[in-house]
Amino acid sequence: MLWLKRIVTAVAVFFLVILVFYGIARTYVVYTDSQIEGNRAPYFQKQAADAMSVLWHTDEPEIGVVRYGLSPEKLDTELNEELAGEAHELRLTNLQAGQRYYYAIGNTDAMKYGGSENDWFMTAPETGTDTAVRLWVIGDSGKPGDIAWSVRDAMKSWVKENPREGKPYIDQWLTLGDNAYRSGSNQQYRFAFFDSYSSILNNIAPWPGYGNHDARRWTFFDIFSLPEQAESGGVASATEHYYSFDYANVHTVMLDSQDSDRDSGSEMLNWLKRDLEAYQASGQDWLIVAFHHPPYSKGSHDSDDEGDSGGRMVDMRQTVLPVLEQYGADLVMSGHSHGYERSYLMDCHYGNSAQFSEKNIVSRGVEGQHIDFIKAQGAHSGTVYVVAGASAKVDRADMNHPAMAVSMMKAGSLLIDIEGNYLVARYLNADAEVEDEFTIEKSHDDSWKAHSNQSYAGCQAD
């Protein structure tokens, strides 16, 4: 039987060689697809009350130069890079809080971008400032085309019809992951992100979520420069995978449901607790959290299915949500499922959908032109969960999770206005129509009790 052993050995060696060559080829493809090449117009990152980072890319090494000032006719401050390169990033510091700055960007020979009244950015207000804030939120926007462009233009149309005196059309821009399909390559990011949102990137710093399609290449962390050292507020995470930032009286946490350890004693969860302790001590009024994989969904992904998405949805529900609710999270947003789902004001549901009941509903809201949730301050006072993963594609699904008061298979994005103790969220469809609208009102007295669900049992483990 020696001949048979030789055949088996030869076949095994053959397949091993094939696997090795496949691994090498795959690594080469991932590496080449992840390389940032060519010219890329400036965009902003790590917005803070006193600083802003500006990034851009050139096809040849050069020393980057940024000129900026309080009017386009007077760009009286200049910052130069020390070394020539193709990937450029400069941190503008000692800025005034809540101020509009104009800019021009180029090299030591000439300015290539900016210099007009349309080329500006805004610094954040001082942390804790009580001022109106408008956020735009897109999810799974990584497929360029008619849907994504219509959703983008619908936001622009709506804010044009609903302007805010003395303020930009939006203050903050969040993404919920899967920013470039299918693999998150540099070329796909060029088409899906930089080309599709070029006019917005000209002024507004994006806060990107990290999704499963972003994770297929290394491009995400090459393109974005995120506040791992608390450059924009919060507590330093020492990683770009998850981070937080402050804007006026809003504290926002961006978590990594894709690659980071989601166990209760993990580095991410330990950091989250430290960050939320600091949030509580800061006196800020609002806590918003975003990550890619939804804890509750019956859309194109099923949050009950432990095999769906490697169990990430189950993990986030079981380990992360108890922490968020303990610190009084107001709004938690996810993508991944390509539809729109919005919950009741709810609490303490960490099991599957069959275990959800009236005892988890803090409030069904006050009926009117929109749903108004009135909530108390503090731990387990109720959280609204939103899945908004239809900014570029919509999939058919059951859309029947019992925690969700509203479920629809319509493309769109979220616009959120916050002022004082009111948060108003609107889901805009691709025709700039409001498909869903809800308000969260923070009660400073006992008025919330009149609108609470009498069946709510308090936080008990499912």
Which stretches does DSSP call E strand in 318-383? 331-334, 340-343, 345-346, 361-363, 371-375
Say if residues 255 and 289 touch (Cβ distance below 8 Å): yes
pTM to 2 decimals? 0.94
Based on the domain organization, do 100 and 196 belong to the same domain? no
Q: What is the pLDDT of residues 314-365, one digit of tens each?
A: 999 999 999 999 999 999 999 999 999 999 999 999 999 999 999 999 999 9
Looking at residue 368, its pLDDT comes to 75
Q: In the listed set 95, 122, 149, which residue is the last one of a domain according to the structure?
A: 122
Question: Would 439 be classed as within a structural domain?
Answer: yes
Based on the domain organization, do 307 and 393 belong to the same domain? yes
Say if residues 289 and 329 touch (Cβ distance below 8 Å): yes
Give me the residue label for tokens 């009017």. Answer: 71
Q: What is the pLDDT of residues 78-136, one digit of tens each?
A: 999 999 999 999 999 999 999 999 999 999 999 999 999 999 999 999 999 999 999 99
At 24, phi and psi to the nearest 5? Answer: -65, -45
Q: For position 232, which CATH number holds?
A: 3.60.21.10
**pLDDT class for 3, splitting at 50, 70, 90?**
low
Q: What is the pLDDT of residues 285-300, one digit of tens each?
A: 999 999 999 999 999 9
| C-alpha 450: how far from chain center | 34
SS3 294: coil
Looking at residue 233, its pLDDT comes to 98
At 2, phi and psi to the nearest 5? Answer: -60, -40
Q: For position 94, which CATH number holds?
A: 2.60.40.10
pLDDT at residue 2 above 80?
no
Which stretches does DSSP call E strand in 163-247? 172-175, 206-207, 243-247
| C-alpha 133: how far from chain center | 16
Based on the domain organization, do 62 and 192 belong to the same domain? no
DSSP 190: I
Q: In the listed set 67, 89, 122, which residue is the last one of a domain according to the structure?
A: 122
Give me the residue label for tokens 């992360």. Answer: 320
Structural domain including 95 reads 40-122
DSSP 298: B
Based on the domain organization, do 172 and 293 belong to the same domain? yes
What are the Cα distances from residue 359, in Å, to 47, 297, 362, 367? 40, 19, 8, 20
Looking at residue 5, its pLDDT comes to 64
Q: Amino acid identity, residue 172?
A: Q
**pLDDT class for 23, splitting at 50, 70, 90?**
very low
Token pair of 59, please? 């096809």
Mean pLDDT of the chain, nearest integer: 93
Based on the domain organization, do 331 and 429 belong to the same domain? yes
Which stretches does DSSP call E strand in 93-193? 100-107, 111-114, 120-122, 133-138, 172-175
Q: What is the pLDDT of residues 31-70, one digit of tens each?
A: 454 555 789 999 999 999 999 999 999 999 999 999 999 9
Q: In the listed set 101, 122, 143, which residue is the last one of a domain according to the structure?
A: 122
The count of structural domains within the chain is 2
Based on the domain organization, do 283 and 373 belong to the same domain? yes
Residues in contact with 323: Cβ distance below 8 Å, sequence separation at least 6, in sequence order:
269, 272, 273, 276
pLDDT at residue 207 above 80?
yes
Does the bond joining 182 to the residue before it have cis omega, within 30 degrees of 0? yes
